[in-house]
Amino acid sequence: MEIKAKKSLGQNFLQDENILKKIANSIKTNKNDLIIEIGPGKGALTKYLKEKESYLICYEIDERLKEILKKHEDNKTKIIFKDFLQANILEDSKNFNYENIYIIANIPYYITTPIIKHIINLDNLESMTLLVQKEVAERFTAIPKTKAYGSLTVYLNYYFHINYLFDVSRFAFNPVPKVESAVINFKRKKEKLDVKNEELFFKLINDSFKMKRKTLKNNLKEYDWNKIKKILEKNNLNENIRAEELSLEVFRDLANTLA
């Protein structure tokens, strides 16, 4: 049966077997790990993930793909037809006795951030490999003082080591999308920075980037500027600095001095 790609679900199916193998090989799992694939589509990547013999749960929103995907099911592989953002991973995986979780997905760019927010606090999450729009990959891997660096970059760097793995040409997909893609990997940091109060730390990051063109001082009017100034001086930073020039460690120091 021919399934017409739905644009509204971001359906661009990967056709290049070498790229698919490379994505699957970017994670090293053992038989007691759990791989979660988001948006398996027609199962192009699923077949390579199954070769790893780990537990595997695939979440696909489009029920038209049931017939194609259901054939992958077995005692270690579940295919669940559901919006991943509504999924209860702990409930769905309760019969699998797994150690670490590996997320892998070729996902539409418009749900990249909601997906990350849905899984970021998952216990046992070891790594995420995402095939995303190239601009999104650049934003996630951006370093301070670049245009792409923003609150999400800082936030993600707190949890993960983020690596830009490789580019994927738009011609590797069918239908061919308008944009280029790239594969990135997020590896859970074994030790997080010593932040005294996480809630304050996250709020400070958000507030610092509230108005991107404004200086830090303008964005942080509700905070004790004298304390902030001391930390900036300690790091040889100017008072008129913008948030995009601050590293994760400086945000940590600022949050800890304000805590």
* Residue 256 backbone dihedrals phi, psi, to 5 degrees: -70, -35
Binding of residue 10 to ligand SAM (CB under 6 A) = yes
3-state secondary structure 199-210: HHHHHHHHHHCC
Minimum distance between the CB of residue 65 and ligand SAM, rounded to whole angstroms? 7
- Which listed range, 37-45, 201-209, 228-236, 247-255, lies at the site for ligand SAM (CB under 6 A)? 37-45
Residue 14 makes contact with ligand SAM by CB under 6 A: yes
HSE, CB side, 13 Å, CA atoms: give it for residue 256: 11
Q: Per CB under 6 A, which of residues 134..153 are in contact with ligand SAM?
A: none
Per-residue mark of binding to ligand SAM, 42-81 (x: CB under 6 A)? --xx-------------xxxx-------------------
By beta-carbon proximity to ligand SAM, the closer residue of 44 and 165 is 44
| Contact between residue 129 and residue 184 where contact means Cβ atoms under 8 Å apart | yes
Closer CB to ligand SAM, 89 or 111, in the complex? 111
DSSP 187-255: EE-SS----S-HHHHHHHHHHHTSSTTS-HHHHTTTS-HHHHHHHHHHTT--TT--GGG--HHHHHHHH
Q: Footprint of ligand SAM on this chain (CB under 6 A)?
A: 9-14, 38-41, 44-45, 59-62, 83-85, 106-108, 111
